Structure 1
């Protein structure tokens, strides 16, 4: 508890940084800011009904925690996963660092961002106080062509927030993608500038989604991150958190789009 109080105090000054649950899945009025530690998961008891815990585990994996205690791991892989089994794990196909051959058997819901039988994956799942859905996108094939529907942008709707994880995005978004996404409040963004999207194109994606808060992921050290940030600063203010776990709320979101860098890579 003392540790949690220290974390809250350390970031409270930064947290003066705000969303409604989506409508029916057929035509979603989709998608309904920030305190934060990498050393410990956000305590379930510490979350109010209007708060969501978000921890950067590493690479493209985040742990999302809801007020009712649902734990979700994004791009859960054999090499990067949270220290406790989540209730839900989402995965993407492009590289083995984004999916698991051996997910923990304690995970209740394993959601693949691709359809092994072909065609787009489709997920629209409600687990207690969170709705999880996906928007299918394409990836580059190993031969340099296009593998259709190999990636999903997963959207997590809880506590009046819409959090979107771009996964291993390989192309800019068309109007139909943006319509399916709806309003996004918090966007988790791969910023490597090569394995996923080139930085110029990623800037187009960020501007088109226009989320209140954008959090970089999928970078391999300071040089990769700084290359992205040098371009991002032309469009958005950039701030740094000293902890890898933050608490999000609608009321605390930035008034205009902002990038927040969490420690790790």
Structure 2
């Protein structure tokens, strides 16, 4: 499969047979710009416009925004209930974590997770090979809490998201840079334009994989 980052929390996962899963498409308000995209499956973690812009997506796709188990185009998807803050959603509402099984690899996208996980959530999420996790703080967990979630889920590959980049301009001051997460973690990191993963080469990419925007 291929994993490409379009900035913020938006990723495209393309399976070996070409099934396209788009996660958390945004409106062009952040400094990031979505290209024209087609997908077979679109998931949205919560109803904020920087995560749920399904109108930007072309094609006849299946939109998933709920909890529980789904099977679409041969892709197993599990939605797990979490919160956007540390107050059980009182400030920012609920958030859905999605775990996708693609080509035998479990990819977990945390959306705008705002807290560390409890034991029930960890059990519901299940096995995680690749973790897409917010690290910039401000509106989500910060570097310290993100590392605790990494310890809870024990992925092989960690892909940070929702952090400050040059593309964000003044808006980026609300987020920390990815360097803070990397430096705090002490985990080996590498930069990639996109990742091409499978069950056989997963260990090759062990550690933090920083994906480039454009």
Q: TM-score, normalised by structure 1?
A: 0.68
Query: CA separation in 1, counterparts of 2:23 and 2:97?
Result: 10
SS of the residue 1:260 aligns to: strand
Is the 2:5–2:11 contact (alpha carbons within 8 Å) kept by the matching residues of 1?
yes
Equivalent of 1:238 in 186, 189, 196: 189
Looking at both structures, which has the greater relative contact order when contacts are Cα pairs under 8 Å and sequence separation is at least 6? 1
SS in 1 for 2:77: strand
Contact persistence 1:111–1:123 (CA under 8 A): no
- Contact preservation (8 Å) 2:36, 2:57: no
Stretch moving more, 70-79 or 215-224: 215-224
Superposed displacement of residue 77, structure 1 = 2.2
Please tell me whether the aligned partners of residues 80 and 124 of structure 2 are also in contact (alpha carbons under 8 angstroms): yes
When Rg is computed on C-alpha atoms for both structures, the one with the higher figure is 1
Measure how far apart 1:61 and its partner are. 0.6
Could you tell me how far apart the structure 2 residues matched to 1:89 and 1:110 are?
5
1:221 aligns with 2:165: yes
Question: Which secondary structure does the structure 1 equivalent of 2:120 belong to?
Answer: helix
Provide TM-score, normalisation by structure 2: 0.83
1:190 aligns with 2:143: no
- Asked if the contact 1:63–1:82 (Cα under 8 Å) also holds between the matched residues in 2, the reply is no
- 1:138–1:146 contact (8 Å) kept in structure 2: no
Equivalence map 1:141-156=2 (5 Å): 145-146=90-91, 150-156=94-100
Count of residues in correspondence between the two structures:
200
Structure-1 residue corresponding to 2:17: 68
- The offset of 1:198, in angstroms, is 2.4
Distance 1:105 1:238 in 2: 34
CA–CA distance in 2 between the matches of 1:173 and 1:188? 15
Q: Which runs of 5+ in 2 are unaligned?
A: 167-175
Asked if 2 retains the 8 angstrom alpha-carbon contact of 1:92 and 1:99, the reply is yes
**In the alignment, is the contact (CA less than 8 A) between 1:54 and 1:247 conserved in 2?**
yes
Measure the CA separation in 1 of the matches of 2:6 and 2:181: 20
2:36 is matched with which residue? Answer: 83
CA RMSD across the alignment: 2.5
- The offset of 1:59, in angstroms, is 1.1
Partner of 1:45: none
2:71 aligned partner: 126
Question: Secondary structure at the residue paired with 2:98?
Answer: strand
> In structure 2, how many angstroms separate the alpha carbons of the residues matched to 1:240 and 1:188?
15
Q: Distance in 1 between matches of 2:206 and 2:138?
A: 24
Verify the 8 A CA contact 2:160 2:210 in the aligned structure 1: yes
Map 1:164-175; keep pairs closer than 5 Å.
Answer: 164-175=108-119
- CA–CA distance in structure 1, aligned partners of residues 18 and 8 of structure 2: 24
Indicate if the aligned counterparts of 2:133 and 2:159 stay in contact, CA closer than 8 A: yes
How many angstroms does 1:106 deviate by?
Answer: 2.6
Residue-by-residue CA offset, 1:154-193 (whole Å, 9 max, x unaligned): 1110211000101000010011111111110000111112
